[in-house]
Amino acid sequence: MCFENILIYFAYLNTMKPSSIILPLCCILLILNIGCKDDDPKPFKQDVELSIEHQWNDSSLKLNKAYYWDHDFITDTISTTTLTYHINNLNLITADNQLIPAHLQYYMIDLESKSVLPEGIKFTSPKEGVNYYVTALEFTIGVADSLTNKLGKLNSIFIAPMYWGMTQGYINFKYEALSPQANNSALIYHIGGYTKPYLNARTIRVAFDKPYYLNKNNSLTLSANIFKLFNSANFIDVRQIDLIHSPNANSKLIADNMASMFKFLSFK
């Protein structure tokens, strides 16, 4: 468009006297300088940052704080002391079923340090200048790949990976709490297992309340309701199940409940 304008202006100048050209020429050059600037925004890739808010029902989950669970005419008191888990293979799902993967395959969330290792969870759209609408997030809790476990791949990614020294395999989900109702006044749930019959990694799909258009920078927030670890797909009696430190039938119950914890909160 600018090149066509230049030709028109110079054709006009050719019709003028030489002494009359200087001022119009300066004006034309100024106008061209302004008009030929590219005011259209450059195409860009869209970024999404994920955060997870840990809760006990409608309250923010705080370590070493007592939460109460009333059921069957009794009250259980549970004070979370440790919450660490692997969250892997994350993909944003678009309205046309494309996958936008997270920057890394493996992450570990540690509530005590309020950190995500080895870095924050982020996604970047694959192409510039494309309109993406996202409708869901899919991920796994735990490490399902037996080869990854056998080769100790995560040992090189995480400084302190959750790994059983005596039992082959990673601990997918480490939850510890104090509870006067438990046999030893404590709950220790170390959930793992990647071989039959204890396949304890779980794939989770969190649907959004509507499709969301990706701007240049976006933030996605999920909630993880720890209360559902005890009461969702399975009912967990802390008097009967207080210690899990290897794959077993009870670990499958907790793994099923883990898949119920996550819910969409917001997209901005």
Q: Could you tell me the pTM of the whole model? A: 0.80
Residues 89, 99: Cα–Cα separation, whole Å: 11
Express each pLDDT in 28-85 by its tens digit.
555 555 554 555 557 879 999 999 999 999 899 999 999 999 998 999 999 999 999 9
Name the band, by pLDDT with cuts 50, 70 and 90, for residue 2.
very low
DSSP structural state of residue 182: S
Q: pLDDT over 70 for what percent of the chain? A: 77
20 has a pLDDT exceeding 70: no
Express each pLDDT in 116-134 by its tens digit.
989 999 999 999 989 999 9
Residues 218, 267: Cα–Cα separation, whole Å: 7
Residue 35: the pLDDT is 52
25 has a pLDDT exceeding 90: no
H helices of 36-76, in order, are none
Residue 203: the pLDDT is 94
C-alpha dihedral sign at 194, 196, 201, 205: positive
Residue 221: the pLDDT is 98
- Higher pLDDT pick, 159 / 38: 159
DSSP helix/strand/coil, 22: helix
DSSP helix/strand/coil, 183: coil
- Amino acid present at 86: H
Q: Is 156 exposed, middle or buried (0-12, 13-18, 19+ CB in 10 A)?
A: exposed
Task: Name the pairing type of β-strands 133-141 and 115-117.
Answer: unpaired
| Domain ranges (residues) in the chain | 2-35, 47-267
Average pLDDT over residues 166-178: 78
230 has a pLDDT exceeding 90: yes
CB 198 within 8 A of CB 191: no
